[in-house]
Amino acid sequence: MKKTITGLLFFLCTASVFSQELPLVPKPSSVVTQPGTLTLNSKTEIVYNDQVALQDVLFLNQFLSDNYNITLKTKKSKKNKNGIEFRLDKSFKGEAYALTINDRTVTIQGDTAGLFYGLQTLLQLMPLDESATVTLPQVTIKDEPRFKYRGAMLDAGRYFFTVEETKRFIDLMSYYKLNTFHWHLTEDGGWRIEIKKYPLLTQIGAWRRGTNINNSSDEFDRLPHGGFYSQKEIKDIVKYAAARNVNIIPEIDMPGHSLSALAAYPEYSCTGGPFKVLELWGIQSDIFCAGNEKTYTFIEDILDELITLFPSQVIHIGGDEAHKDRWKVCPKCKAKMVAENLKDVNELQSYFIHRLSTYLGSKGRRMLGWDEIMEGGLAPGAMVMGWRGEESGIKAANMEHEVVMTPNSSMYLDYYQGKSSSEPFNIGGDLPLEKVYNYEPLSPQIAPDKQKYIIGVQGNLWMEFIHTASKLDYMAFPRLLAVAEIGWSDAHKDYDDFIARVGGNLPHLDKEGVNFRIPEPLGLHDFESNTTHLTVLLTPPIKGSKIYYTINGEDPMLNGTLYTSGLQLNLTDKPVELKCIVRTKEGRVSNTYTASYSLKK
């Protein structure tokens, strides 16, 4: 899009923004800063009034030890003379908290989750320089989330991430106050959860043999691949997440996306197989047979084990992209439709999903599914994850079903986040940070009295083309910060304010070694000028980062000039191509970003 001159004026205003804003993401409900600071010293103690707060106390001390090589004394006490206090206070609702820093003390108040989030806010205020004393701004923050569900999904089915990688992702989620980890554990391309009653699910279903074509590019990697989580590992991850206020919702995708299960147990398909764990991507015809009673027993046995591992009230059963061609011709499916008086395969899918919902209900759990579970009739009480645009989520909310909004157009973080020519190969789409940020889950098409059925938002990371933890970082961050902000902060949108806070916050991730996508320099836009002399004003997108540029077509990585202040361009008939890279304080370098400056015709 071409920007007008107002675009340039705005960037003048943001040039010094990093020093004015506290780099908090998501933005708290209320922040009042006072002049002055508080410096921690060797006499600073951490006090807490209740044993519940002890895990936060230990968390803070671990952070201080890792980052500044200091360990503070801790004490159970109600008095806080010169220290950091965690005050469990049940009068705070759910995840709400207050954080006050004055010239002598830090006080965090909240119930269990609130104390953890007050601590996360405090960590975001910690200085970046490890050699410096720990100096904090004086501030009063009162904060609570807008939505109760703030999620991120990892597709571990298509690509297996290790326990450590998964925990690190949970760490990063919780740092931004995301509280729900949707763990997509099964796919055509891999079954990742140990089920003791059906060992072949992981012995066969967890492994892709691959074609041994050593394709070094990310496109259609057909290399051998596999892995699964033992039940012991799953319990460990669930506990780890719970300590960070993250609930894990496991997903077993059914009746479609189930080829890995059918490769292990083909008797639960319509045709009997044989099948191979999928090596490429795409929607498969072979799905669970909904006409075979034994399929239901198999699935219920799996759910029985699943619910012993996951305390989550809500269990995700998938339900997306089930091609039903096999059902149309399968004698068992046809017989089931006759017996149950179902008029078509959509109603058969609805029957299948209703049975799962009833089964989960009988175990005290609740079913969540992708929006296709609405086809043929929605099971009573089912929660819906709206992904095919916004429409299905809107419809489900208007039908008084709880909905998590994750429209692919705004929340699919596997989509491109910049021009495809300068991005690593991805599945497609167009989803820059600003577009994610501007998503508003409460559509005006939802009746006012039904808006409460939208319980939150979620960013999804599908792994067709994400095969390393480093690329996962790249796709997730910083867009997951925008998801967190939508989920937590009020509905008011101000992208300039957001990107300034992101720019102040990303150095923390840089220091942690997170391979986030470095945003474009602020102010870099294609532009048509009325005058031949043009001053281009750029701002580094991250505090402490530097911009290097060329205007002669050369690679700014090799021959770039350090940008220091307004860049004077003399425009002729030929547009000027401004090419930039951004280098972070830790030395990471962005893609090359380009903008074209031309004279208005």
Residues making contact with Zn ion (CB under 5 A): 270, 289, 291, 330, 332-333
320 binds, options Zn ion, ligand ACM, none, Cβ within 5 to 8 A by partner type: ligand ACM
User: Considering the complex, what minimum distance in angstroms separates the CB of residue 257 from ligand ACM?
Assistant: 8
**Beta partners for residue 149, in sequence order:** 456
Q: Which of 321, 423, 512, 528 binds ligand ACM (CB under 6 A)?
A: 321
387 binds, options Zn ion, ligand ACM, none, Cβ within 5 to 8 A by partner type: ligand ACM
Report which residue type is found at 398. Answer: N
- Which residue, 206 or 330, is less far from Zn ion as judged by CB? 330
| Chain residues 178-237 in contact with ligand ACM, contact rule CB under 6 A | none
Taken in order 69, 75, 77, 80, the sign of the CA dihedral is negative
User: Considering the complex, what minimum distance in angstroms separates the CB of residue 485 from ligand ACM?
Assistant: 23
Taken in order 351, 355, 357, 358, the sign of the CA dihedral is positive
User: Considering the complex, what minimum distance in angstroms separates the CB of residue 370 from ligand ACM?
Assistant: 5
- Which residue, 321 or 526, is less far from ligand ACM as judged by CB? 321
User: Considering the complex, what minimum distance in angstroms separates the CB of residue 304 from Zn ion?
Assistant: 23
Report the alpha-carbon distance of residue 408 to residue 326 in Å, rounded. Answer: 27
* Cβ-based neighbours of 563, under 8 Å, separated by 6 or more: 521, 538, 546, 547, 548, 549, 580
- Which residue, 291 or 540, is less far from Zn ion as judged by CB? 291
- Which residue, 45 or 321, is less far from ligand ACM as judged by CB? 321
Taken in order 180, 152, 202, 296, the sign of the CA dihedral is positive
251, two tokens: 């997903």
Beta strands in 241-388 (DSSP E): 247-254, 314-318, 366-370, 383-386
179, two tokens: 């509280």
**Packing angle between helix 54-68 and helix 112-125, nearest 10 degrees?**
20
Contact 351/342 with Cβ under 8 angstroms? yes
Beta strands in 65-124 (DSSP E): 73-76, 83-88, 97-101, 106-110
* Cβ-based neighbours of 597, under 8 Å, separated by 6 or more: 526, 527, 529, 534, 536, 569, 571, 575, 576, 578
- Which residue, 269 or 539, is less far from Zn ion as judged by CB? 269
548 is an interface residue for ligand ACM by CB under 6 A: no
- Which residue, 378 or 578, is less far from ligand ACM as judged by CB? 378
- Which residue, 300 or 434, is less far from Zn ion as judged by CB? 300
- Which residue, 235 or 332, is less far from Zn ion as judged by CB? 332
Element (H, E) at 155: strand 149-155
User: Considering the complex, what minimum distance in angstroms separates the CB of residue 273 from ligand ACM?
Assistant: 23
User: Considering the complex, what minimum distance in angstroms separates the CB of residue 419 from ligand ACM?
Assistant: 24
Q: Which of 111, 251, 320, 414 binds ligand ACM (CB under 6 A)?
A: 320
- Which residue, 11 or 439, is less far from ligand ACM as judged by CB? 439
User: Considering the complex, what minimum distance in angstroms separates the CB of residue 118 from ligand ACM?
Assistant: 35
92, two tokens: 């705070």
333 binds, options ligand ACM, Zn ion, none, Cβ within 5 to 8 A by partner type: Zn ion
Q: How many binding residues for ligand ACM (CB under 6 A)?
A: 4
Q: Please report where in the chains the tokens 């990063």 appear, as a residue.
A: 172
330 binds, options ligand ACM, Zn ion, none, Cβ within 5 to 8 A by partner type: Zn ion
509 binds, options ligand ACM, Zn ion, none, Cβ within 5 to 8 A by partner type: none
| Chain residues 332-391 in contact with ligand ACM, contact rule CB under 6 A | 370, 387
Residue ranges in 38-107 assigned as alpha helix (H): 54-68
The dihedrals phi and psi of 331, each to the nearest 5 degrees, come to -60, -40
Residue of minimal Cβ distance to ligand ACM: 320
User: Considering the complex, what minimum distance in angstroms separates the CB of residue 352 from ligand ACM?
Assistant: 17
Report which residue type is found at 286. Answer: D
User: Considering the complex, what minimum distance in angstroms separates the CB of residue 334 from Zn ion?
Assistant: 8
Q: Name the site residues for ligand ACM (rule: CB under 6 A).
A: 320-321, 370, 387
